[in-house]
Amino acid sequence: MSEQIQVKNVSPVKVHQPPGGSNKKRPSARSQIYVRAVKGPIETFRRLFGFIFVGIFALIPWIQYDGHQAILLDIMNQRFTIFGLTLWPQDLTLLAYIFIVGAFALFFVTTFAGRVWCGFMCPQTTWVYMYVWFEEKIEGPRNKRIKLDERPLDFDKFWRKSLKHIAWLSVAMLTALTFVGYFTPIGALFIDFFTFNASFWAVFSILFFAGCTYGNAGWMREIMCTHMCPYARFQSAMFDKDTFTVSYDYNRGEKRGPRPRKLKHEELADKALGDCIDCNLCVQVCPTGIDIRNGLQYECINCGACVDACNGVMEKMNYPKGLISFTSEERLTGGHTNIVRPKLIGYFVVLLVMIGLLMADILTRSPLEVDLIRDRNSLFRENGRGNVENVYTIKILNKSQDTHTYTIEVKGLASYNILADTTVTVGGGEVFSMPLSLETSPKNLSEAVTDIYFHVRTEDAEGNVVEVDEPTKFLYR
């Protein structure tokens, strides 16, 4: 209790605010951010990665497998088809494993490399950059866009703004059509939509998701990342001093300020200057409008745009690159980054365990499932032949993609008769439902309740036997 707690003096830092819009007299909760284009290896990789991501998103619904859409999440029929795998509501544990694996993969990557998901893979970021690309091609670079918004409405401004929003809406409609195509056959969806034959819910879904895409990527943009996305709020729980994040080297950059290009790097100490020339390019290229020089902020999505912008300036000034870089807090303070550490190992081990459980669940998953429902109107009845009857409804779920013929038998009764077809054929990924009556002589029943099993059996194309015993009860007296 005698030890004194050291108090760290934290000096207030001037936080950058994005420039105001055209109406600067009226306060606004959000000033428009005019993102400046940047070139560099990180930006090239991000664009290539985004192009591949969008291509995969657009092509997957069109892939065919065994004569049907390879990935079809049919919510109306409660059936998810993923190539040769059909998932039903009974496969909830399998879906849970998939989400858990995705979550721990995200935790592992975030602990190692920060919010690279947000900067390189998040659909919001990808579509925002896509919209900004249209904006730049139609309205011009950042400075021209600012001047265009400050101008009164004329013909040039009208057609540029109109063309931009037409492009945005076109991308939003194609995005919505593709997205809805994951939940309904996409070929028929496109034909029905453009021939005005689509159903109400299909049209509603397309217009709803198109509106969301247009609003999120065109208007809300960074608000989705800074105010609506929960990941931005809890990401810091996964960070540590060894996490690679986009960071500004304060010790090297300060004191910042302009200087002539002819001033050599070796002469900066004599002028009491750091490497930062205070050009503000790192702010202008940031999609969330923050100043990375103020330190790590929850708005930063680790896209690396400021890294490319700063490295370009350093190259022109003949200064060493890396004033802003993907680095760790430990390295900035002169230490060594520990890549292999307990927290990262823990996430990796849990991720491997969950992947193992997911694979085990898939490999041990039976392609056949049987459900039995007893008739609720009568427990039993005696028919004209003097036998006791119980009525059931049997449901056979064929989880494979092939058509199979199933035989139905009963175990637990010495002799019995099934008053229904005992051989049924069920198509791939379909559910067969049939009422049936099971009768037996009272001499075969020694108790009021007899435990029995409905035995359903089939063989696949390779000759492997697939069978299920579904327990139920036969009632008498």
pLDDT above 90: residue 5: no
Tokens encoding 97: 């494993």
User: Is it true that domain 368-475 has CATH number 2.60.120.10?
Assistant: no
CA-CA distance, 354 to 106, in Å (whole number)? 13
SS3 185: coil
Q: Do residues 376 and 398 make contact, with C-beta atoms less than 8 angstroms apart?
A: no
234-243, 285-294, 299-308 — which is least confidently predicted?
234-243
Are 300 and 246 in contact, with CB atoms under 8 Å apart?
yes
Question: In the numeric block, which tokens belong to residue 115?
Answer: 């919010």
> For residue 374, is pLDDT > 70?
yes
What is the rounded average pLDDT of the residues 205-217? 96
Concatenate the DSSP letters of all residues of 329-398 into one string.
HHHHTT----SS-HHHHHHHHHHHHHHHHHHHHHHT--SEEEEEEE-SS-S-EE-TTS-EEEEEEEEEEE
The Cβ-side half-sphere exposure at 285, using a 13 Å CA radius, reads 23
The stretch 171-176 carries a mean pLDDT of 97
Q: Pick the more confident residue, 4 or 59.
A: 59
Q: How far apart are CA 370 and CA 408, in angstroms?
A: 11
The proportion of the chain whose per-residue pLDDT surpasses 70, expressed as a percent, equals: 94
Instruction: Locate 396 and state its tokens.
Output: 């056979």
How confident is the model at residue 7, as a pLDDT? Answer: 58
Q: For strand 431-440 and strand 417-419, is the pairing parallel, antiparallel, or unpaired?
A: antiparallel
Predicted confidence band at 277 (pLDDT cuts at 50, 70, 90)?
very high
The pLDDT, as a whole number, for residue 3 is 59
- Residue 163 belongs to what H/E stretch? helix 155-180
Is residue 420 within 8 Å of residue 393, measured between CB atoms?
Answer: no
The span from the CA of 436 to the CA of 122, in Å, is 52
The domain locations on the chain are 41-87+122-220, 368-475
> What average pLDDT does range 121-129 have in this prediction?
94
Q: Looking at residues 426-451, what average pLDDT do you find? A: 90
Cα separation, 252 vs 255, in Å, equals 8
Local structure of 348: helix, strand or coil = helix
Residue 5, CA distances (Å) to 8, 11, 12, 215 in order = 10, 19, 22, 50
Confidence (pLDDT) at 9: 54
Mean pLDDT of all residues in 31-57: 93
Distance in angstroms (rounded) separating the CA atoms of residues 281 and 312: 10
- More confident of the two residues 35 and 401: 35
For residue 422, what is the DSSP state? S
β-pair type (388-398, 381-382)? antiparallel
Q: Percent of the chain at pLDDT above 90?
A: 64
Other CB atoms within 10 Å distance of the CB of residue 86 = 21
Tell me, what's the pLDDT at 213? 97
Contact 119, 225 (CB under 8 A): no
User: What pLDDT sits at residue 29?
Assistant: 44
Which amino acid, one-letter code, is at 47? R
Residue 469 to residue 353: CA distance in whole angstroms: 31
Say which residue the tokens 């492997």 belong to. 464
Q: Which residues contact 455 (CB under 8 A, 6 or more apart)?
A: 408, 409, 410, 411, 467, 468, 469
Single-letter residue type at 361 = D
In this prediction, residues 398-420 reach a mean pLDDT of 89
Mean pLDDT of 405-426: 92
Q: Which helix (H) or strand (E) holds 166?
A: helix 155-180
